Amino acid sequence: MNYEFTIIIPVYNEEDNLERVEKELAHYLTLSTKKTKVLFVNDGSKDKSQELIETICERNEAFHYVQFAQNRGLSAAIKAGFDHSDTELTGYIDADLQTAPEDFNLLLEHIGEHALVTGVRADRKDSFVKNMSSKIANGIRRAFTKDGMDDTGCPLKVIRTDYAKRIPMFKGLHRFLPAMILLQNGKILQVPVRHFPRIAGQAKFGLWNRLLGPLMDCFAYLWMKRKYINYEVAKKG
């Protein structure tokens, strides 16, 4: 089908959201500025998510899935999406649809000279505690990485797949995608996108993995930065 863009949707116990995901993503495929397909990555869900995913994929030619044997976490699901993407561009959106698929077009508009374009939630519709903990975590991360990004947790991103496949992913590194692109000397950009309240399912991140966990991950990133191998071939023969 000569697809140009793959949208990764990590799924963990999101049975209440998946029919809405199908409806909104199927609609977006008619609006996308790129020939687009969808890849569900089921991160070992224990509810009826897999059954629904298979039904959705049977109904929609451009929808596909990967199912984990057991739960491995968001970073692993994103990495699996990168590993299985075969298009020039790869995107990412959460199954709770607190961001709008249509806003992928805002990011795609700027991807030309950038390796990664990420959304920044301009008017977040989350609780005070969630907003403040994320704000603090982003400030700490920026101090470590110097990436200049205000909202790396925004679940709406577009990345060049060749860059994505070179990222040495580890647990928690999904928050450091812009910084890992900078290690590859790629250009990054953030673009304001819309944000909506979660209307179904349960949030998978609490205070620990939104604030204290990322602080520990910053030290893992610094180790990775010191050890990271990056080279550019000047000539071959």
- pLDDT band (50, 70, 90) for residue 233: confident
Q: What is the DSSP string of 50-118?
A: HHHHHHHHHH-TTEEEEE-SS---HHHHHHHHHHH--SSEEEEE-TT-SS-GGGHHHHHTTGGG-SEEE
Domain assignment present for residue 191? The answer is: yes
Domain assignment present for residue 233? The answer is: no
Instruction: Provide CB contacts within 8 A for 85, sequence distance 6+.
Output: 6, 8, 39, 161, 164, 165
Domain assignment present for residue 160? The answer is: yes
- Higher pLDDT residue, 172 or 97? 97
What CATH number is given to the structural domain containing 90?
3.90.550.10
pTM of the model: 0.85
What per-residue confidence (pLDDT) applies to 97?
Answer: 93
Q: Over the stretch 14-39, which tens digit does the pLDDT of each residue have?
A: 999 999 999 999 999 999 999 999 99
- Res 228 pLDDT > 90: no
Rounded to an integer, the average pLDDT of 119-126 is 76
Radius of gyration in angstroms for the set of CA atoms belonging to the chain, rounded to a whole number: 17
What per-residue confidence (pLDDT) applies to 147?
Answer: 79
Domain assignment present for residue 70? The answer is: yes
- Res 210 pLDDT > 70: no
Average pLDDT taken over every residue of the chain: 87
Domain assignment present for residue 234? The answer is: no
Domain assignment present for residue 79? The answer is: yes
- pLDDT band (50, 70, 90) for residue 206: low
Q: Structurally, how many domains does the chain consist of?
A: 1
Q: Which residues of 124-146 are buried (b: 16+ CB within 10 A; e: fewer)?
A: bebeeebeebbeebbeebbebbe
What per-residue confidence (pLDDT) applies to 72?
Answer: 93
Distance CA 235, CA 103 (A): 40
Domain assignment present for residue 24? The answer is: yes
Q: In percent, how much of the chain has pLDDT > 90?
A: 61
Domain assignment present for residue 184? The answer is: yes
Supply the range of the domain harboring residue 121. 5-227
Q: Over the stretch 129-185, which tens digit does the pLDDT of each residue have?
A: 566 666 766 666 777 777 778 787 788 999 999 999 998 877 777 788 998 899 899
- Res 204 pLDDT > 70: no
Q: Over the stretch 67-92, which tens digit does the pLDDT of each residue have?
A: 999 999 999 999 999 999 999 999 99
- Res 202 pLDDT > 70: no
- pLDDT band (50, 70, 90) for residue 11: very high
